[in-house]
Structure formats: C-alpha cells, structure tokens
C-alpha cells in the first residue's frame, strides 16, 4: 500500500499587519535567546571562579586522587558545582581497601565529609 503526502496548495501570505507582528515577535524571541545565552555564559564563568576559589587542602591522609596521573581520578577530585554548593571526591588506599569519600561545601559555608565507602580490595 502506498501512502501519499498531501501538499497544501494555499500559499497565501500573512496580511501586512500580521507579518509585522510576526517579525517583531520573532526578532524579540531571537534577542531573548541571545540574552539568555549571555547570562548562561556569565553564570558559568562565575561558577568556575567560585569553584577555583575553594580550598584545595583538607584531603584525608590516605587520599591520592589529587596527585594521581589518572585523569578520571583528578577530575573527580576537582571541585564541581552542586545544588547544595560544591563537592569533590577523595580516593585512595586505606588498610587493604580502595576507599572513596565525598567532601561538600554548602552555600552557608559548612564543610563536611560523607562516610568512607569501600570501592574494592587493594591489590
């Protein structure tokens, strides 16, 4: 069975007053989108500046992710923005386990650590 596409043959244009309103609205929409993009870029720059200002000390003595050559470990150890403030991940060997612990800084300045989670046995 063949299905055909129905074409609309009405090619009438918008009335001049409707065309003017359409163009004005379209241009305003484009301006608003451009402004939203500028605001988003400014917010991203401000967040990056804020995250760069956070302390890099305070690692547990077993944390090796900050000095790791593994890019994934280093990326997790870099401060990242969260809805509550900022956070980063500490990883290293503690006793016979590879462990992980999250660190957070809330918007009110409270700095705290999660419980230590075992990831896997160390080799």
Residue 15 CB burial class (10 angstroms; 0-12, 13-18, ≥19): exposed
d(CA 107, CA 104): 10
The confidence score (pLDDT) of residue 24 equals 93
Per-residue pLDDT of the chain (123 residues; tens, 9 = 90+): 566 666 665 656 778 788 889 999 999 999 999 999 999 999 999 999 999 998 887 788 899 888 888 888 888 889 999 888 999 999 999 889 899 999 999 989 898 899 998 888 877
Long-range contacts of 80-84 (CB under 8 A, 24+ apart): 80/51, 81/47, 81/50, 81/51
pLDDT at position 29, please? Answer: 97
Question: What's the pTM?
Answer: 0.64
Domain boundaries, the chain: 15-53, 56-121
Q: Are 79 and 54 in contact (CB under 8 A)?
A: yes
pLDDT of residue 6: 65
Tokens 């009405």: give the residue. Answer: 10
């Amino acid at each position: 069975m063949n299905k055909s596409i129905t074409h609309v043959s009405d090619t009438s244009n918008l009335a001049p007053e409707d065309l003017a309103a359409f163009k004005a609205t379209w241009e305003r929409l484009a301006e608003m989108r451009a402004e939203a993009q500028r605001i988003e870029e400014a917010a991203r720059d401000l967040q990056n500046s804020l995250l760069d200002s956070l302390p890099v000390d305070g690692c547990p003595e077993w944390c090796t992710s900050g000095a790791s050559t593994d890019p994934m470990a280093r990326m997790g150890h870099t401060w990242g923005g969260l809805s509550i403030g900022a956070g980063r991940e500490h990883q290293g060997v503690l006793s016979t386990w590879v462990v992980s612990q999250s660190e957070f800084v809330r918007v009110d300045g409270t700095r705290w650590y999660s419980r230590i989670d075992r990831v896997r046995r160390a080799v």
